[in-house]
């Protein structure tokens, strides 16, 4: 779901936090994202999230607040595999400049005209986040449950597991 807010003085440049093996990790995640069993595993997690959230009936006013991290005081954290899968399905891949610019604006590089440009392919954290105040009680538990399944999917398919801030994880692929 969301991670801790940015600490005072924390760099906004998502490329500054990249590990030395970023390109190798991105290649492994991208390869795994195209594997049919991994694709089906991610889709199953997303289906289960959709069922769980539908049962809880949170209100979404499609305001795009979920994509404007800084304005609403949250950050999005994802796994490397989620980032690769989203990029695989996206109509466009953000450039390094797009990722940097989004970090400076403190929003998502897929925010398009105030809406999510990858809504059908968004990560678990996006799927669990609702602006609806009634959702605050269950969002974290649902997110943690689905993150455990994501971690198991990584392990089952021998995909390196990393969990990080969304724009930094995207930077792995465009560095």
Q: Please list, in sequence order, all residues whose beta carbon lies within 8 angstroms of the beta carbon of residue 10, skipping any fewer than 6 positions away.
A: none
> pLDDT tens digit string along 128-158?
776 666 666 767 788 889 999 999 999 999 9
Q: What pLDDT score does 4 carry?
A: 45
Q: Tell me, what DSSP letter sits at residue 161? A: P
Is residue 83 within 8 Å of 22, Cβ to Cβ?
Answer: no
Q: Given phi > 0 = left and psi -120 to 50 = alpha, else beta, which region is 75?
A: beta
- Give the predicted TM-score (pTM) of the model: 0.86
Domain ranges of the chain: 2-174
Per the listing, tokens 């899968």 go with 85
């Amino acid at each position: 779901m969301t991670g801790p807010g940015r600490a005072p003085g924390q760099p906004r440049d998502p490329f500054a936090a990249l590990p030395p093996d970023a390109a190798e990790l991105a290649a492994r995640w991208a390869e795994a994202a195209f594997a049919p069993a991994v694709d089906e595993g991610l889709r199953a997690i997303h289906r289960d999230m959709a069922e769980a959230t539908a049962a809880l009936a949170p209100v979404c006013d499609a305001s795009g607040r979920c994509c404007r991290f800084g304005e609403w005081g949250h950050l999005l954290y994802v796994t490397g595999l989620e980032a690769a899968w989203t990029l695989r399905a996206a109509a466009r891949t953000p450039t390094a400049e797009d990722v940097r610019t989004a970090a400076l604006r403190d929003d998502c590089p897929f925010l398009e005209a105030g809406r999510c440009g990858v809504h059908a392919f968004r990560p678990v954290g996006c799927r669990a986040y609702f602006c609806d105040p009634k959702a605050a009680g269950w969002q974290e538990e649902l997110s943690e449950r689905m993150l455990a399944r994501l971690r198991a999917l990584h392990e089952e398919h021998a995909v390196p597991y990393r969990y990080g801030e969304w724009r930094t994880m995207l930077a792995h692929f465009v560095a």
